[in-house]
Structure 1
């Protein structure tokens, strides 16, 4: 069936049972077993064009991944376009970068560092640039500099109709609106160009507290975030880290609380701003110091190895004392929570600023994000998803009903509707009808449309 497609490719076509198929189909969440009908290892944008056109002609859906961090469904019957070989990474000393769809953030961090420049990456530098940015991009210095998607200059994409396009605010403005925040709804991005910020170093790290101090730390953090200047970006995580290699001994096998902090002003001012949290309780570990921005991944110290996980997420309009108590009751040290991480991120600041160019990214007015992460391993595997919903239910009085596209990756009409307000979703759907008339983009987190 795929012989004609293979003839049109510069890269490889691989099928189930072949060694390359197993290598490329895997994702970061090993609880999801991807089963595409075929995988195209794209070597250039024309390979992407060939795959999309073949899918339209044969009735296959199209899926895309580079690093596998956004894997959300099994991709049954789809042609998976793997963009990991599109690895161009060029940093311009005057403040911008161009990267291919296979580039991870650490590559950009390392290339930008000699110029004193910083990309608005996420907390995990091993994540791919494109999937992160098209979903908005909420990073460790986001309250100072805003969303990564708002820094995009140009996008090169193969839309669902099989056309390769270069998209800017002036050329193809509808696509420029929809791709930034719309994830993969309109096509497969092959390259991005985006602005960097001048930030060679940042005062950042984490304070880890014993679980017995959880209530004091959470309530202290809640009060502290109400008046933080936008130079400060912070999150708090209720942690139950297993005793595994790489987990520091003071944190392994016990309940702890982490306050993550990044300050883009002077070191002296950062120390002053952080002092109230340091005074709440005595940290088990204190890693806050001035670091090269290229080491920003150490702040959250996110896991780097694939694992079977389940995530639940929400956005909150506020975090009063009652909400903190509700969270402690369901996920605090005495709750018997099966989650490895229950995290709140403080939003606002530059994240709430109107963008220079409007986009499909919604929910800019949310005050906090919530995510739970549980490992689907015996004996707690069955309890993790249900408990994640219990956490959401406990905080429901303060939830907005929305969700960020990149947090808690999932598919389906309900999840997509939470990612966008009604007007934005309607416009995204209209654009999808225009640029994907054969309805090939129906794998992953995309607007659900009637079959073509």
Structure 2
């Protein structure tokens, strides 16, 4: 049990605020984008810089308190109870090097901030469907980009990172310095330390074509069949996805679509209008779209492709990697999540892999999924009166799709982590064994035990 002297020792060692559950600042320091997840640590530290993270970890280790970390809380799939929560949202340094085509960012930086600094130089980073997400948590979880088929996973292009390991040491690691730790942090989530800064490659952006087509949900079978047949015609420069959406009557939904079941095709393409229109033409002939926003796009408007909610919401999610999206797979998905089913989920999404997402990057990392063909991702509201139905429906859909699954997930799309066997599905067995050995080495006391954490075992021999 913490006493006043303990809290005083932490407050004296850091520059940022220290908040207890009865402090006015506590709610702000522990707030997650997923508002269904309410964190209840014993104490929260709003780290002002990397030195605060070091001091916080050392303080917790001396008292054998577990440590957790959060910046935006977009990946808050499970609640943190007890210990020290370190909030890194104040680490807002952004440095763009247009000559080396790199960015260096602090742990609290969101992708929107990176793009606002890099796009004027004709460069972009490999963000996901929403630029409101924090760079670090997304990237160390692998990072599935909007332009993934063109460039691969975000973790493939990390140059270096600064990380505070469980012994309270701030390390700069890369492919040469602490190479195994660096490899496992690129896709291994936060199992071995707290990242305070990340350096990664940027990519040239010229003409960009993006947007989406929204169709009536009643035509879902026709549209998904056409989508499956259309995919092989696309170049790696094109990254599509498609989702079944049950849109609520809420402000973040465009008025004409509120309360409807629809199919949403998303499309991002590194090219001009003529080529983009030609690639998208077969899908424009299918059904009668309710909305078509695809065309030349200012890259700073890239969030309009997926139209993810910008405001915090209560949600629950789950995912699986698929071997195929053939006729039987489509039929099984529609049976449990299509028109006429009792599925309450907000989203059932299919993201194709292929291209750079399926290629070996030539250096070790912990990203899984390169042998998969598709990602299935499910999201439902986690609030009364639909919370129980949403969680049950995710289980139902995943069970129905299990014959088509590889048996693995991506850690950022896994959903609430279960037991050890369930958590292991986010990595290949070979990578998971390496991670357990590294966990035993870098965090033998299992200080970092929250979120999608694993347990360590000593190396064999």
- Residue 431 of structure 2 is matched in structure 1 by 424
Shift of 1:173: 0.5
Contact 2:210 2:295 in 1 (8 A): yes
Moved over 3 A (4+): none
Q: SS at the partner of 1:2?
A: helix
- Residue 433 of structure 1 is matched in structure 2 by 440
- Residue 40 of structure 1 is matched in structure 2 by 45
Select which of 330, 335, 338 maps to 1:332: 338
More displaced 10-residue stretch of structure 1: 413-422 or 135-144: 413-422
Contact 1:154 1:194 in 2 (8 A): yes
Structure 2 unmatched runs, 5+? 1-5
TM-score (norm 2): 0.95
Select which of 248, 266, 273 maps to 1:260: 266
More displaced 10-residue stretch of structure 1: 64-73 or 218-227: 218-227
5 Å-filtered alignment, 1:241-320, equals 241-320=247-326
- Residue 75 of structure 1 is matched in structure 2 by 80
- Residue 29 of structure 2 is matched in structure 1 by 24
More displaced 10-residue stretch of structure 1: 336-345 or 261-270: 261-270
Select which of 357, 371, 374 maps to 2:363: 357
Q: SS at the partner of 2:369?
A: coil
Select which of 103, 106, 109 maps to 1:103: 109
TM-score (norm 1): 0.97
Select which of 7, 19, 35 maps to 2:12: 7
Q: SS at the partner of 2:403?
A: helix
User: Are residues 1:382 and 2:388 paired?
Assistant: yes
Shift of 1:63: 0.2
Structure 1 unmatched runs, 5+? none
Q: SS at the partner of 2:197?
A: strand
Contact 1:71 1:409 in 2 (8 A): no
Select which of 360, 376, 401 maps to 1:395: 401
Select which of 133, 156, 161 maps to 1:127: 133
- Residue 446 of structure 1 is matched in structure 2 by 453
Contact 2:336 2:343 in 1 (8 A): yes
- 1:292-315 deviation line (CA, Å, top 9, x unaligned): 222211100101122221112111
Contact 1:119 1:197 in 2 (8 A): yes
- Residue 222 of structure 2 is matched in structure 1 by 216
- 1:54-105 deviation line (CA, Å, top 9, x unaligned): 1111111110010011112221112001000100011111211110000000
Q: Hey, what's the Cα distance between the residues in 2 that align with 1:414 and 1:434?
A: 21
Shift of 1:450: 7.4
Q: SS at the partner of 1:372?
A: strand
- 1:186-216 deviation line (CA, Å, top 9, x unaligned): 1000000111000144200010001121111
Q: Between Structure 1 and Structure 2, how many residues are aligned?
A: 451
Q: Hey, what's the Cα distance between the residues in 1 that align with 2:374 and 2:167?
A: 38
